[in-house]
Amino acid sequence: MKQKIQLLVIIPARAKSKKLKNKNIRRLGGHPLIAYSIQAAKAINERNKVIHLSTDSKKILNISKKYYDFTNDLRPKNLSGDYSLDLEFLNYTLRQYKKKNFFFKFCLILRPTNPLRNKETINNFYRKFKNSKFDSLKSIFESPKTPYKM
């Protein structure tokens, strides 16, 4: 039976990091970095949602299960390389849910590397987005200097 879900929240957290080893599970304020994305996902005002951890690491999955009861499998290592695209793990995730007859109206990606989120801001933008005619939304901020110098 086809299940229509309003929102899929994906938290991408691959094991390998070039610059900072184990960055997704490093502690910040007494919690692993990934915990903040999990809490933000849980705080989204949407009853009909699925929170999905997209990781290739059993360690990350086990640590994350202390904050949410994830039931999904690990993603393949070939979708977790330095040059892997978001589109690849996103399509993989959607195909896995399609096999289970889960279909989503909206999808949101919450990266662990951005832990300082305001739940009112997320909910405000989610509400505005789902009531709009737009098909995508990306949060950005104004850089203090030109991107060419970054």
Bridge partners of 4, per DSSP, are 103
Residue 120: pLDDT above 90? yes
Which pLDDT value is given to residue 122?
93
Domain ranges of the chain: 3-149
The three-class DSSP label of residue 4 is strand
Which pLDDT value is given to residue 49?
97
Residue 114: pLDDT above 90? no
Q: How far apart are the first and last CA of the chain?
A: 50
Q: How confident is the model at residue 145 (pLDDT cuts 50, 70, 90)?
A: confident
Q: For 47-92, give the DSSP string.
A: SSEEEEEE-S-HHHHHHHTTTS---PPPPPGGGSSTT--HHHHHHH
Give phi and psi for 102, each to the nearest 5: -105, 130
Domain 3-149 fold: Spore Coat Polysaccharide Biosynthesis Protein SpsA; Chain A (3.90.550)
Longest dimension (CA), the chain: 53
pTM higher than 0.75, yes or no?
yes
